[in-house]
């Protein structure tokens, strides 16, 4: 390998690291910090009520044009196109608060494989748990 190709490789590697670093760095503490963010009664787990409270506040924060619904733009990537579609039973292309909270509830259930009604840090750190956090934060 010439010096030139090594530095070229390093530049590519840095680019890759640069793109993926934020997500990778958030991983270890992800579940615990998500619990802290949502766990208002400080019992170390997150229940549906706590999640719905955060989700409700997030809805109000994102809902900028005061039409009582969130469109894909307001959701800012929290849901993919197909995610919006499946969370939108009346198919008007936007989510009202009930639709949004129903989507949140569905993700909560998916993130709770032991069905005890609460999510601990480990459950929040699972793929389904992260999907839930991504939707409500
Ligand atoms: Ca709690
Ligand atoms: Ca709708
Ligand atoms: Ca659980």
Q: Where are the domains of the chain?
A: 28-136
Give 102 Cα–ligand 3 centroid separation in angstroms.
18
Given the candidates 3.40.50.2000, 1.10.238.10, 3.30.1550.10, 3.40.1080.10, the CATH classification of the domain at 28-136 is 1.10.238.10
- Across residues 48-66, what is the average pLDDT? 97
User: Which ligand approaches the C-alpha of residue 70 most closely?
Assistant: 2
- Across residues 58-83, what is the average pLDDT? 94
Give 128 Cα–ligand 2 centroid separation in angstroms.
23
Quote the pLDDT of residue 51.
98
Using DSSP, state whether 48 is helix, strand or coil. helix
Give 124 Cα–ligand 3 centroid separation in angstroms.
9
Give 111 Cα–ligand 3 centroid separation in angstroms.
8
Give 34 Cα–ligand 3 centroid separation in angstroms.
14
Mean pLDDT of the chain: 86
- Across residues 68-95, what is the average pLDDT? 94
> The tokens of 121 are what?
């840090």
Quote the pLDDT of residue 2.
57
Degrees to nearest 5, angle at CA 73 with 72 and 78: 60
Using DSSP, state whether 47 is helix, strand or coil. strand
The answer to whether residue 3 scores a pLDDT higher than 80 is no
Give 114 Cα–ligand 1 centroid separation in angstroms.
16
């Amino acid at each position: 390998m010439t010096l030139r190709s090594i530095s070229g490789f390093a530049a590519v590697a840095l680019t890759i690291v640069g793109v993926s670093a934020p997500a990778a760095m958030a991983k270890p503490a992800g579940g615990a910090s998500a619990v802290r963010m949502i766990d208002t009664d400080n019992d170390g787990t997150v229940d549906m009520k706590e999640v719905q409270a955060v989700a409700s506040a997030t809805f109000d924060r994102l809902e900028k044009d005061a039409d009582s619904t969130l469109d894909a733009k307001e959701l800012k990537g929290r849901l993919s196109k197909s995610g919006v579609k499946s969370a939108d039973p009346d198919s008007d292309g936007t989510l009202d608060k009930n639709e949004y909270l129903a989507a949140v509830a569905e993700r909560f259930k998916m993130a709770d494989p032991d069905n005890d009604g609460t999510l601990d840090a480990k459950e929040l750190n699972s793929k389904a748990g992260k999907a839930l956090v991504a939707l409500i934060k």
